Amino acid sequence: IYIGLFVLLFFGYFLLRGISWQGTKHLHTIMEVIATLLALAVGVLALIPFYSKKNNTILFIGAAFLGTAFLDGYHAVVTSAFFDTYFPPVPSSLIPWSWVASRFFLSVFLYLSYLAWNRKERLGEAGRITEDVVYWAVTILTLASCSFFAFTPLPRAYYPEILFHRPEEFLPAFFFLLVLIGFLKKGGWKHDQFEHWLVMSIIVGFMGQVMYMSFSGRLFDFMFDAAHLLKKVSYVLVLTGLLISMFRLFRQADESARELSESNERLEIVDRIARVVGSSLREKDLFPTIAREIRRIIPCERLFIGSVNFETEEIFYWHVESDVKVPPVDDDDVSRLEWYQELYEKMRPLNYGDIRKVPYRRAQDFAKAGLRSQLVVPIVRDGQCVAHLALSSTRVDAFSGDQLEQLISLSGHINVALQNASHLQETEKRATRLAALNDMGQKIAGNLELSEVFDRIVHAVAGILKTDYSRIFMIDEKEQELVLRASHGRIPIPPGRVASIKMGESVTGWASQKGESLLVPDVLKNPFWEDLPWEWVPKKEIRALICQPLHHRGQIIGYINGMSRQEGFFTEEDLSTLGVLASQAAGAIENARLFSDTRERATRLEFVGNIAKAVGSTLDPEELFRTIVDEILRVVPCERCVIGKVDQTEMPNFSYWHTGGEIGLPPISTEEKTEAIEWYIRNVYSRNQTAYLQNLGELETPWSMRQMRAGFNSLLAVPILQDGTCIAHFSLTSSRTNAFSGGQVEFLTSVAGHLGSVIRNASLYQTAEERAVRLASLNEVNLKITQNLALGEVLENVARSAVELLSGSFSRVYLLNEESGLLQIRTQFGDIGAPPKFDAHRPEKGLRGVVFQTGKPVLIQNILEDEWFEEKAWAEESGLRGFIAVPVFHEDRVIGVLNCMGKESVSFSRDDADLLQSLANLGSAAIQNARLFQESEEKGKRLATLVDVAQRLTRELDLASVLNSIAESAASLFEGDAGIRILEGGELVKAAATPGADNVMARKAVRVGKSITGQVAVSGRAIVTPDAPTDSRLLHAHREANREARTGALMCVPVGVEGRILGTLHIYRERGYQFDQNAIRLAMGLADQAAVA
């Protein structure tokens, strides 16, 4: 701006110097009067801020303009045309020299103001010049100037012979330049509006002297008047700066008054907060009042008072008030603590003008909620930051430095409030503990269920001592270890977790060995602290530990401990409180134990009585097994109980006699079943002893994992012995780990010892019953299949009987085709759809091949997992899983295979295999009888057909009728379709065909040597194909015709006489049909008769 103003005035001179303007004395007088008034206004207005705030610069400037106003007035009077008639004429040189006097006076005093400022800066208050000195100096110099110009002869003012016509103008210009340099160097113009306008005024005054008035050649020319005009502009600039400064001064006065009012209000608020702090100790009274009063003086949308525990990584909120909804703190957010790290370490306030720029995730949560700025003030006690006060606003840069100071002053009162609230909490906590101890003691003592007593004890420890985890261990004297009986904590014990501590192991084991109570402020610094293999709580979660022994009649029977995530959490008072609780708990535990033992003895007697009653009142095994299972479930609570046995035969399997309980098991895979059978044989049947899996998860096998997925976590298997051999077992499974006590295991083992003979008798009775039922079923089946000589019906009865006897879903009968050597599916039966293929199979392929080759049964529990089974997609879609197949014998030779498949709910056993083998043996004789009957019938039918054909040929002489008769006879004989082609001139022409064959024999003529027909005509030998649509020897049109007609098997034989080929005979059957040698010989016979005809 300053440079622009200088350039404007500089170049303005060159633009305006050629103007031939000539002013008048009257105009000059008017301009000087205006200048006098402006200078007077500037002087008076400058002294007003001086007396409100003493400033030497303002004093000198005000006095300078008052003196200048007097000199400008003198200049106006002595040069005015109005006074020419009243005063003698003045010399012509007085007009320019009186102008110079006022300009010189002003420039000098402005320079003196700069020197006065510089003196005060160097000397401080000692360098300040009093206003009296300034006023006297102005008065004397002003009067001296007037006297000088009035009584002293003045030299001429204009020198036209030199470049600068008025060189005297450079004297005030020189001082104006010094003033300009001084004020620019001072730098006040950068922040003070008055000095900014003053600098522009000095620039205008300087340029008016140097560029305009110095070039004035005569009075009242254009440069003369321009210089006078610029003088007034410079006065106006100073006046503008003064007015702006005064406006700001008045505004500051208003602000000061408002601040004073606000300060009084703040003092009242502080007084109210202090009264609340002194009159109440409760959080609900203290903090809402403090928050309300703070928000009155510092508007904000959210306020909270909280504290941070960096060891436990927790933020505690004493009080929160919020007008915006902020999402809760995420425990996984590591940055939630980093935000406060600097505050608590350096104990300095934090003022975030725009929290959107703060990189912490929690800050972004605030920003998403609409908050923009936050002010956080530490609350310090004994040289440490114990809490913090935070204010949040929806505005950017919402909090000022004054507000920060206010919060800092209030933090002391909040500190007192926090301290009082903490003391009250401690007192109330102590009283609550005593009341809770009394109440818990009554509850524990009034309960006789041991498991509930344990649970109530650990809950009491957590509730009274505010622990993160609490546990109770009981001493196992036999194993010399502490066994976990109950646990409570923020991370619950995982299902299936079994926990025990050896005496002397880890901190609790060491305390139990010493028989002492224990308080560990930081377990990580304790030499006895070590990781336990069963511990489910992360190591960093446990820092402080407290432990008390359970005493009963002078002996330690167990231990209670409490754990915290915070280092140094427990006190000696906590240890004493836990000791009182431990003494109450020990008596309650012993009472519950005595009650449990008494009730268990009564239960055993009742159990044995009920079993004896059931044995004496029924011979039905199902009723007996149900009674045993129900009694076991009543005495030993669990989710599932099974009584049964493992068949240790060539194909081991489970036999379940009765199952009871609330939870069932999903279908078991072959691998899992084999694994389970091996475990029972290895741990129960081979050793004749009880096997107890306290935690199924530790077994880590597919079978145990399956049990756990069903909801089970522990398993108890008890053998039932007869003459020193395990003949059966009962197994109990529970959803709890370590669910069965030592007493329960001993009780069940003793009971099982008395059940051996009962189970043996019941098993024999059940086996006899089942055998009788099966023999009756076999007898009925034998009657069905032996009363019928039709092979198809015999085979269908065999397949149906297999499904009914074994409660299966699908059955097949395979028979060996002696001609092709393939196993053919002769029939199948079931309540599900047939598989996609229905044809012959090679005897060494698949499970049927295994049975056919070895002559031994095959029993599979899950065919989806067997590599030999070929139709897995169909079986899975149909829900089939179990598979059993047996050989069909005839005179010690395997002639076929009978199989049966069941769904997931059916489990085949070795007895089922024996039953199916018996059915196959019965069916074998019936099959052979039906085969012989069928063969004799087929032979009779064929002979009758041949005789009928011969008779027709002797009666008919018309070739077409003869050929049609042969085609119809062949179709009837082979239960299919037939056609004849006649050789005519190198082509085989269709001559006769049944309706079905007519469509298949697509082309009317076939060249000799082409297709199967042409090859037969060339070779004179029959050709058979079981799958015509895929046989490449057929023409494409013939293959497509067979595919559309859904035919498959084709037999083509030559029609010839005395070695000469006359044509071909074609016989068609369904796909998969096998033409044997007998069929070929019969077809050749028909062809010979056709040739003769």
The strands making up 302-309's β-sheet, listed across from edge to edge, are 314-322, 302-309, 384-393, 373-381, 350-352
Domain final position from 768, 800, 833: 768
More confident residue, 530 or 53: 530
Q: Is the pLDDT of residue 1054 over 70?
A: yes
pLDDT at 373: 93
Q: Which residue do the tokens 């935000």 mark?
A: 339
What contacts 522, CB < 8 A, 6 or more positions away? 543, 544, 567, 568
Same-domain pairing of 132 and 49:
yes
Lowest mean pLDDT among 58-67, 296-305, 362-371: 58-67
| Tokens, residue 98 | 């009186």
Query: Would you say residue 773 lies in a domain?
Result: no
Q: With bands split at pLDDT 50, 70 and 90, how would you rate the model's confidence at 302?
A: very high
- Do 914 and 965 lie in a common domain? no
Rounded CA separation 375/389 (Å): 8
- The residue from 566, 599, 632 where one domain ends is 599
Is 796 in the same domain as 758?
no
Residue 700 sits in the same domain as residue 801: no
751: tokens are 């009971």
* pLDDT for the residue 391: 92
Residue 14 lies in a domain: no
Looking at the structure, do residues 570 and 679 belong to the same domain, yes or no?
A: no
DSSP conformation class of 1003: S
The residue assigned the tokens 């006699």 is 657
pLDDT value for 181: 82
pLDDT of 450 above 80: no
Residues 797 and 760 in one domain: no
Strand intervals (E) in 808-925:
810-816, 823-830, 840-841, 858-860, 880-890, 893-903
pLDDT band at 448 (very low <50, low <70, confident <90, very high): low
**Cβ–Cβ < 8 Å for 828, 879:** no
Average pLDDT for residues 440-446, to the nearest whole number? Answer: 61
The pLDDT score that the predictor gives to residue 375 is: 92
Give the pLDDT of residue 395.
Answer: 93
**Which span out of 77-91, 883-897, 1037-1051 was modeled with the highest average pLDDT?**
883-897
Within this chain, do residues 381 and 475 fall inside the same structural domain, yes or no? no
Around Cβ 55, how many Cβ atoms within 10 Å?
18
The answer to whether residue 807 scores a pLDDT higher than 90 is no
Residue 162 burial (C-beta neighbours within 10 Å; 0-12, 13-18, 19+): exposed
66 and 193, same domain (yes or no): yes
Q: Can you point out the beta strands (E) in 160-309?
A: 302-309
Structure token pair of residue 413: 């009162």
34 falls in which pLDDT band (50, 70, 90)?
A: confident
Statement: residue 306 has pLDDT above 60: yes
Is residue 944 a part of any domain in this protein? no
354-376: pLDDT as tens digits: 989 888 888 888 899 999 999 99
Please return the burial class of 699, using the count of CB atoms within 10 Å of its CB with bins 0-12, 13-18 and 19+: middle
Give domain status of residue 439, yes or no: no
Q: What is the dihedral of CA 362, 563, 464, 389, to 10 degrees?
A: -20
Q: What is the pLDDT of residue 952?
A: 65
What domain count does the chain have?
Answer: 6
Burial of 53 (0-12, 13-18, 19+ CB in 10 A): exposed
- Number of alpha helices (DSSP H) and beta strands (DSSP E) in the chain: 29, 28
Q: Based on the fold, state whether residues 590 and 471 are members of the same structural domain.
A: yes
Residue 419 lies in a domain: yes
pLDDT, residue 289, reads 80
* pLDDT over 70 (residue 935): no
Asked whether the CA dihedral 601, 603, 605, 607 is positive or negative, the reply is: negative
* Same domain as 146, residue 88: yes
- Contacts of residue 770, defined as CB under 8 A and 6 or more positions apart, other chains included, come to 911
**Closest residue by Cα to residue 945 from 857, 1067, 1064:** 1067
pLDDT band at 444 (very low <50, low <70, confident <90, very high): low
Mean pLDDT of the region 488-511: 77
Quick one: 198 exposed, middle or buried, by C-beta within 10 A (0-12, 13-18, 19+)?
buried
Is there a domain that residue 60 lies in?
yes
Backbone φ, ψ for residue 823 (5° rounding): -85, 120
pLDDT of 663 reads 78
Distance of CA 330 to the CA centre of its chain: 13
Which range, of 159-163, 851-855, 1034-1038, averages the lowest pLDDT?
A: 159-163
In a domain, 710, yes or no: yes
For the whole model, what pTM was predicted? 0.35
More confident residue, 982 or 77: 982
Is the pLDDT confidence value at 84 over 60?
A: no
In a domain, 950, yes or no: no
In the predicted structure, residue 506 carries a pLDDT above the cut 70:
yes
pLDDT at 740: 86
Q: Are 521 and 542 in contact (CB under 8 A)?
A: no
- Helix, strand, coil shares of the chain, percent, nearest 5, are 55, 20, 25
231-272: pLDDT as tens digits:
888 888 888 877 877 777 777 767 777 777 766 666 666 666
pLDDT digits (tens, 9 = 90+) for 668-714: 777 788 888 888 888 888 888 899 988 888 878 888 888 888 888 88
pLDDT at 722: 82
Give pLDDT, residue 557: 85
Higher pLDDT, 197 or 1015: 1015
Measured CA to CA, the distance from residue 799 to residue 826 in angstroms comes to: 10
Q: What is the pLDDT of residue 503?
A: 79
Alpha-carbon distance of 187 to 184, in angstroms, equals: 5
Strands (E), 779-872: 810-816, 823-830, 840-841, 858-860
Mean pLDDT, rounded, for 794-823: 82
First to last CA, the chain: 134
Tokens for 382, please give them.
Answer: 């004994």
Q: Mean pLDDT lowest for which of 15-24, 950-959, 1008-1017?
A: 950-959
The more confidently predicted of residues 782 and 494 is: 494
Q: Which residue type sits at 339?
A: W
Higher pLDDT, 967 or 435: 967
CATH number at residue 105: 1.20.1070
User: Letter for the amino acid at 35?
Assistant: A
Contact partners, residue 230, CB within 8 Å, separation at least 6? 9, 204, 205, 207, 208, 212
Contact (Cβ atoms closer than 8 angstroms) between residue 703 and residue 672? yes
Residue 1064: which domain range?
956-1092
Q: Is pLDDT at 970 greater than 90 in this prediction? A: no
Does 792 lie in the same domain as 750? no
Residues 465-498: tens digit of each pLDDT: 888 888 888 888 777 788 888 888 878 887 656 6
Q: Which CATH number is 1012's domain given? A: 3.30.450.40
For residue 650, pLDDT over 60 is answered with no
Among residues 845, 908, 898, the alpha carbon closest in space to that of 871 is found at 845
Residues contacting residue 797 through CB under 8 Å, at least 6 positions apart: 781, 784, 785, 788
pLDDT above 70 covers a percentage of the chain that reads 80
Residue that has been written with the tokens 């499970």 in this structure: 847
Is the pLDDT score of 20 beyond 90? no
Return the structure tokens found at 169. Answer: 């103008």
d(C-alpha 733, C-alpha 691), whole Å: 12
What tens digit of pLDDT does each residue of 717-731 get? 999 888 888 888 889
Q: Parallel, antiparallel, or unpaired: how do β-strands 823-830 and 840-841 relate? A: antiparallel
Looking at 708, 736, 768, the residue that finishes a domain is: 768
The tokens describing 594, both together, are: 């005595």
Q: Kind and range of the H or E element at 297?
A: helix 283-297
Tell me, what's the pLDDT at 779? 64
pLDDT in tens, 107-139: 777 787 777 777 777 777 666 777 777 778 777
Q: What is the rounded average pLDDT for all residues in the chain?
A: 78
301 and 246 within one domain: no
Residue 102: what are its φ and ψ, rounded to 5°?
Answer: -65, -40
| Nearest-angstrom CA–CA distance, 933 and 791 | 8
Rg (CA), the chain: 60
Separation CA 622–CA 644 (nearest Å): 11
Residue 782, pLDDT above cutoff 80: no
Higher pLDDT among residues 212 and 894, named by residue: 894
pLDDT for res 764: 66
Please tell me which of 417-421, 596-600, 849-853, 1087-1091 the model is most confident about, judged by mean pLDDT.
849-853
Better-predicted residue by pLDDT, 25 or 548: 548
Q: 983-1007: buried (b, 16+ CB within 10 Å) or exposed (e) per residue?
A: beeebbebbbbbebbebbbbbeebe
Assigned token pair, 123: 């000397």
pLDDT in tens, 915-934: 888 888 877 766 776 666 66
